[in-house]
Chain A
């Protein structure tokens, strides 16, 4: 604790308690996985300086959804949600003066995040060995799709292709149909979590020993670890799992699925694992005679007769709103939940509202918009969304002027000469 207390004296507390106050991150990452990792750090008070390409910026600045469907560099909700609270600068990394400025920023940084292909940073003179010469205790987190070694290290990957390689796509869907896979890039979150965890582990080690390190994060591996015990079922039991729709791959549960409710494409998830939950389920339905049929009297029987059971359950859910189904079942202790859609989550859900999950930020071009907030709450250092995402190059003056001490004339010259 002694080293920690010394550092504690230097903490900037004028903005209240942020867990990561004083921590400096230099962020070269794009799209979603890398920016998700640094989002957690920015929300908790780290200074995150995001380096973007001149003119174009991060690729997702030009990705759907745009405010009111009107494209523009500063109009993408995709970009704005994940980059809130970060400082944004533009820099031409093909210009040696750009690299010199990066090196100055590295000298005052704790962590560098990047998600380029394997050789890119070293090619720019910014590989770990080179960064270490500038800042001996630097932590560098590389978050490429496949990792920096191995036969696929140069392969191009996206969320959906990583999901395909991990087994997740193959195993998601109903058994009577081709695989469907996830409807979006879940793997960017898996990669983002792996990246930020890698950084936080390394920071604690640095706090103890003063040593930095390089971490090679493979987004593919970050997703593969989330495939769970099925991996051991294969390696130990030699079982190759197949798609099981909404049945649990291993656990005995019935009913277990999404059941159609009143309205257009409305559903409620109902999951019954235990005898107590089955009894509660029967009570919630007011014990119709079919619930007492012999074939449904045991879990084994309910699983064997799942199709008939599902039909009977759906007869009951079909004439009720999903919300009512959830409430009736939860009242009897049955795990059930509305398959919530965006308006349910954003406008209605009383629990998310109670937690203050949605946070409004006023963006200069987009006006006041809701952002997905900090998903966990802390008693001492709550984390907060301080600023909306940066406009392209918004913080060039602050970062190059105030932090690195360039004069307005120098900044103008660099801007005119396309370094910024």
Chain B
């Protein structure tokens, strides 16, 4: 596996083996989208995450899971049975030449197969191996089962979201997995810097719960510093305590987030809905005054009176032009068509040659001037790169490959 030096790609010198499920697939996507050669190792017949909905055109087809497509861009895909000796032997050959392995099996699973970090690092001391689990490799909860919601609940992420008279609510979009994956990618790249400097690899233990518990803004701090337990308070933003900041108000065609300013008073005045807001300067900048419950209620009433005559786009652009930082509450269609995201090329087109078409994917979280983020390949089909990896890189003949397939090794 000679180094493929691709110009203008940050991580193109890296070979990464990806043994993650939904907890960690975003971690390896981060790395793959910056140019690393990420080889996703799936069990023969394909990974279980291929069964995750939604599916293209709602047809349940293991090659058309949109979840799989989203999280596996730029990766190569091979099938390999890690539970049989021949499969383990092949895996070790791949691992010998890998720079990074990311896995999310239950603690101890790979060790039991003789494929843990201890087994691989003597032959490949530069290897960085990152394990992502719900609670960590050791400790009283290490064998506990998790899901996105359970990880969020246990990390203190769920208790702050929701209306006080309803149950705590989960944030949309599997954010617990995203927190675990982001932390895992950061950890892996920190270890990579150390390896660049010293040549030494190491093992990294990522806990989803701990990743979540470090991503709750002031929630833990309010307890540590003030001995208060913050409760969910609807649409209000936690940092400012009970107050007017961050409420959502309805407008003509949706909702407006009013965080950061009591309102576009001049515009409200022009509309004839400002009431007494311009009569007393305390409405402008006296937070304590505005936080008085009866004042909050009055302000909110005026805001709603203003907003009901305007649509969200008009309010958003109008307010921002007056340096009032209110924002529109976008749904997915609004976000997809957002002029800012459009102008910056956030939506990218990804070819699916086997379907003779292309689809629009979400794009980059960052724009590197020298080494741009890019998707050069859609997620792999099942075993799509078996031949390439096993014959070209490991030197198996095509005949050997078909024998391995027959025996259920690949």
Contact = CB atoms under 8 A, between A and B. Distances in A.
Contacts of A211: 370
Contacts of A122: none
A376 B204 contact: yes
Contacts of B144: 330, 335, 337
A92 interface: no
A112 interface: no
A328 interface: no
A299 interface: no
Contacts of B250: 178
Contacts of B325: 155-158, 161
A214 B167 contact: no
Contacts of B117: 379
Interface in A148-195: 149-153, 155-174, 177-186, 188-190, 193-195
Contacts of A174: 163, 166, 169
Contacts of A225: 362-365
Contacts of A201: 10-11, 34, 189, 366, 368, 371
Interface stretch (A289-297, A367-375, A397-405, A408-416): A367-375
Interface in B35-61: 52-54, 56-58
Interface string A196-219: 111011111101100111111110
A234 B178 contact: no
A198 B373 CA distance: 10
A226 B367 contact: no
B67 A229 contact: yes
Nearest to A381: B194
A152 B156 contact: no
Contacts of B344: 147, 149-150, 218, 221
A19 B346 CA distance: 33
B54 A181 contact: no
A392 B290 CA distance: 30
A256 to B, nearest CB: 7
A221 B346 contact: yes
Given A180-B161, A201-B11, A156 B52 contact: no
B366 A217 contact: yes
B147 A273 contact: yes
Interface in A254-285: 256-260, 265, 267-269, 271, 273, 277
A300 to B, nearest CB: 14
B332 A230 contact: yes
A341 B188 CA distance: 30
B396 interface: no
A314 to B, nearest CB: 10
A161 B257 contact: yes
A377 B214 CA distance: 14
A316 interface: no
A74 interface: no
A355 B139 contact: yes
Contact of A165 (B34, B193, B328, B361): B328
Given A157-B325, A250-B53, A342-B219, A376 B202 contact: no
Contacts of A5: 198-199
B176 to A, nearest CB: 10
Contact of A156 (B154, B260, B340): B260
A51 B386 CA distance: 52
B207 A81 contact: no
Contacts of A213: 368-371
Contact of B167 (A11, A168, A258): A258
Contact of B239 (A63, A265, A330): A63
Contacts, number: 531
B215 interface: yes
B218 A77 contact: yes
A336 B70 CA distance: 27
Interface string B234-252: 1111111100001010100
A270 to B, nearest CB: 8
Interface string B86-113: 0000000000000000000000000000
A5 B126 CA distance: 13
Given A251-B52, A381-B202, A198 B366 contact: yes
A120 to B, nearest CB: 15
A26 interface: no
B203 interface: yes
Given A164-B328, A231-B362, A236-B56, A156 B323 contact: yes
B54 A351 contact: no
Interface in B311-342: 320, 323, 325-336, 338-341
Interface stretch (B76-84, B221-229, B263-271, B293-301): B221-229
A64 B370 contact: no
Q: Which of A160, A240, A273 has the most CB of B within 10 A?
A: A160
Nearest to A66: B225
Interface in B133-181: 135-136, 138-142, 144-156, 158-163, 166-175, 178-179
B35 to A, nearest CB: 9
Contact of B184 (A11, A257, A376): A376
Which one of B186, B197, B368 has the highest number of Cβ atoms from chain A below 10 Å of its Cβ? B197
Contacts of B20: none
Contacts of A230: 54, 172-173, 332
A377 B205 CA distance: 5
A160 to B, nearest CB: 4
Contacts of A64: 218, 222, 239-241
A197 B186 contact: yes
B277 interface: no
A181 B169 CA distance: 9
B368 A177 contact: no
A157 B194 CA distance: 35
A311 to B, nearest CB: 13
B219 to A, nearest CB: 6
A198 B360 CA distance: 23
Contacts of A48: none
B303 interface: no
A125 interface: no
Contacts of A379: 117, 202-204
A178 B307 CA distance: 15
Contacts of A49: none
B190 interface: yes
B280 interface: no
A181 B248 contact: yes
Given A157-B327, A239-B54, A269-B149, A224 B341 contact: yes
A204 B241 contact: no
B52 A378 contact: no
A337 B154 contact: yes
Contacts of B172: 167-168, 171-172, 227, 230, 241, 243, 249
14 contacts: A161-B260, A164-B248, A164-B330, A166-B330, A179-B255, A188-B217, A196-B186, A205-B10, A205-B11, A207-B193, A241-B331, A269-B149, A366-B225, A376-B184
Q: What are the 6 A-B residue pairs with the smallest beta carbon separation, nearest first?
A: A342-B223, A183-B160, A161-B327, A354-B139, A77-B225, A200-B189
